[in-house]
Amino acid sequence: MAEIKEIKGKIVVPYHWSYGATITKFFQETRENKKIYGARCTKCKGVLVPPVRLCGRCFAPTEEEWVELSDHGRLVSFTTVYLPFPGQPTEPPYTYGMIRLDGADTDFPHLIKEIDEDKMKVDMRLQAVWSEERKGNLFDIKYFKPEE
Amino acid sequence: MEPLVKEGNITVPYQWTTGPAVGKFLTELRDNKKIMGLRCPKCKRLFVPPLELFCGRCFVEMKDWVEVSEEGKVISYTVVNLPLPEPCQPPLPPPYALAAIRLEGADTEIIHLLGEVEFEKIKIGMPVKAVWKEKREGSILDIEHFKPRG
Amino acid sequence: MPRKVAVVGTGQTVCVMRREDASFPGMIYEAVNRALKDAELTLADIDAIVFGSSPEYFEGVNHPEKWCGEASGGFLKPQFRIHTGGTVGSSTGIAGYYHVASGLFDVVLAVTGDKLSEGPVQLCLSTVYDPIFGRDFACGAPSAVAIQSRRYMHKYGITEVQAAKVAVKNRKNACNNPYAQLKFPDITVEMVLNSPVISSPLRMLDVCPASDGACAMIFACEEKAKKITKTPAWVKGVSAVAEGVNYVNRDWAEPIALIKAAKTAYSQAGITDPRKEIDVAEIYEAFTYQELIWSEGLGFCGPGEGGKLIDEGVTEMTGELPINPSGGVLSTNTIGATAMMRQVEAALQVMGKAREVYEGKEYNRQVEGAKIALAHGWGGAIQFHNVMILSSNPD
């Protein structure tokens, strides 16, 4: 038989991520009230979404009270993914973008649908399409579509 | 609201290149039920299994393949009771005994299972012998386990 | 002031998609031996080892520094492992430099590598994204860089054609480098523009390959460097800066960490006009648009002028400031060793050694008269940037 040159196998890593209290509260609002909240930096006053306790840029805490954001925003950048690979979470082709929600100063990633890529433009206006059934995760928003 | 938790699995399929040293070691296990080592020309140590074609201490290439006995002795051992999560199964469910075994002629130990022995009877220095599988694939588990001898 | 340090020896493996004849430690051993041979040193002359490799997922083996400990020459030597995402190679080089500059060690070996063929690269890269906000959409490195590239195109009117010219330049340059993986002597802009879209706007030929390879370099203090080689490559400026990932008002088209790192390194090296004073640069362009953005961040041209730089041929081998004579990352990307290869290639340029006969064939990527070279690396969710400036002159 031929000399062995390769060993094939797989490693399965089970994980159990805690979202933490802040993100849990963020998703509580998306699930129950279809609301998106951000947190304002006490120093630069920039609003971060999702809300975090620390503004990384300033290394300063964000305010206790959160800022309600619009579910409309501007498309900062986008890409349509065509490349398939094993273990891919979303089957291509799909388009996703970084969205600057009105009132926020950081980008929010999500899928974009109901428009052909060749009609999409950077800085175009988008709005969220909410899921009927929401569980408290990123897909409480189904996707973003062009603003009506 | 209950603190949110996300559960799932990340699966990492791999295809490791054995390199010539490990490749030959595994091939000899599979085809000839032989346990081979490589001897360093400088320090004369015999590495079993040989992980690479060079001696890590002397940083020189090794070319001298030597067959070692399938018999040796237990240098150290442990009885494992801790189960691992479902996708990470070791070859046996716990409890099982693992030992560092110095085969006759070798200067390094092989880590393997101890079988056909009661845990309380395992002793450091205990002479052991390989038990081979009928159907071998080119893996350290072509040896089913080591059992006491004599 | 830190003491003077020079690169005195380098070694690289020939990079291919899959090395079937060597394991990961085997490749590391090769690179280390080549560097030792280049410097005419033995392991006994080395005071410490710094090892770098990317996330363990890539090979499905945890702790590559343990796995490659002996192969790195590390038996009974002080040892460190470095990891900064894709720029791990340059961070490892910088760590090697720090060891010697600190005065605590005189001669230090830094070695890096990865065997990307052993695991699922795009899946592994996808686990770098935020697990809750982003991973669901991740397509390895391409989708993150696609987001950056499109913003850059929009902000400054950079075109697909300009990006494609980078692919053509670098893959042709690779033909002069025996260690490079992808060599396309006949590549054209049309071929790049006709290649399938991976993650828009990035096409297949806009994107780096995945390679198996390793690289090593030896740093020495001034006194020893002068004894070891007639042509040391002196380290004149070093800077490693990180920005955040999704911080307030991040502008994907403005690499603020790189701008800061470049400024710091230039100040250390006494460089005030990088475009004129730097003779050659090796920068980390895993994707075509990045060569243009990083050129701006490094001050080779003004903001938004990256496209103009390539249109005017400034960065060709015959131009005013050749970029990536080695073929760059578009031609070879092991991830682990990649950013160190930029430092090694920059060192070879100022040492006058960027030409060799390999397996009977002559290869020449030397920029004639190169005295000052720049090496750059980036990593993470595009947040780490490293710059190193090397010179043939110690003063």
ipTM: 0.92
Reply yes or no on whether the pLDDT at C70 is more than 90. Answer: yes
Helix extents (H) in chain A? 20-33
Residues of A in contact with B18 (CB under 8 A): 4-7
Q: Is residue A10 part of a domain?
A: no
Token pair, residue C228, equals 């070891």
For residue B112, CA distances in Å to B72, B133, C83 come to 12, 14, 33
Those of residues 49-108 in C touching chain B at CB distance below 8 A are 57, 59-61, 69-71, 73, 75
Closest among A108, A103, A24, A40 to A69, alpha carbons compared: A103
Domain count of the fold of chain B: 1
For the stretch C147-181, pLDDT in tens is 999 999 999 999 999 999 999 999 999 999 999 99
Reply yes or no on whether the pLDDT at B89 is more than 80. Answer: no
Q: How confident is the model at residue B10 (pLDDT cuts 50, 70, 90)?
A: confident
C157 burial class (0-12, 13-18, 19+ CB within 10 angstroms)?
Answer: exposed
Quote the domain boundaries for residue A139.
20-146
For the stretch A72-121, pLDDT in tens is 999 999 999 999 988 888 999 999 999 999 999 999 999 999 999 999 99
User: What does the alpha-carbon distance between residue C311 and residue C200 come to, in Å, rounded to a whole number?
Assistant: 22
Residue whose token pair is 């040796």: B72
Reply yes or no on whether the pLDDT at C127 is more than 90. Answer: no
Q: Which amino acid is at C292?
A: L
* C123 or C37, which is more confident: C37
Q: Is residue A135 part of a domain?
A: yes
pLDDT at A42: 97
B104 burial class (0-12, 13-18, 19+ CB within 10 angstroms)?
Answer: exposed
User: What does the alpha-carbon distance between residue B48 and residue B109 come to, in Å, rounded to a whole number?
Assistant: 7
Token pair, residue B130, equals 């390989």
3-state secondary structure of C222: helix
Which residues, at least 6 apart from C273, have a Cβ–Cβ distance to it below 8 Å? Answer: none
Those of residues 19-38 in A touching chain C at CB distance below 8 A are 19, 23
Of the residues A1, A5, A22, A88, the best mutation for testing chain B's interface (the one with the most B CB atoms within 10 Å of its CB) is A5
User: What does the alpha-carbon distance between residue C178 and residue C156 come to, in Å, rounded to a whole number?
Assistant: 36
DSSP letter for each residue of C162-181: HHHHHHHHHHHHGGG-TT-S
Residues of C in contact with B61 (CB under 8 A): none
Q: Is residue B9 part of a domain?
A: no
Reply yes or no on whether the pLDDT at C262 is more than 80. Answer: yes
Q: Is residue A44 part of a domain?
A: yes
Quote the domain boundaries for residue B52.
19-148
Domain count of the fold of chain A: 1
Which residues, at least 6 apart from C367, have a Cβ–Cβ distance to it below 8 Å? Answer: C279, C280, C317, C322, C325, C349, C354
Q: Is residue B14 part of a domain?
A: no
**Predicted structure pTM score:** 0.94
3-state secondary structure of C77: coil
Q: Is residue B2 part of a domain?
A: no
Residue whose token pair is 């940037």: C385
Q: Is residue A109 part of a domain?
A: yes
Residue whose token pair is 């620390």: A54
Q: Which domains, ranges and CATH numbers included, belong to chain C?
A: 5-121+209-390 (3.40.47.10)
pLDDT at C54: 87
Of the residues C29, C57, C66, the best mutation for testing chain B's interface (the one with the most B CB atoms within 10 Å of its CB) is C29
Search chain B and give the residue with CA nearest C33.
B59
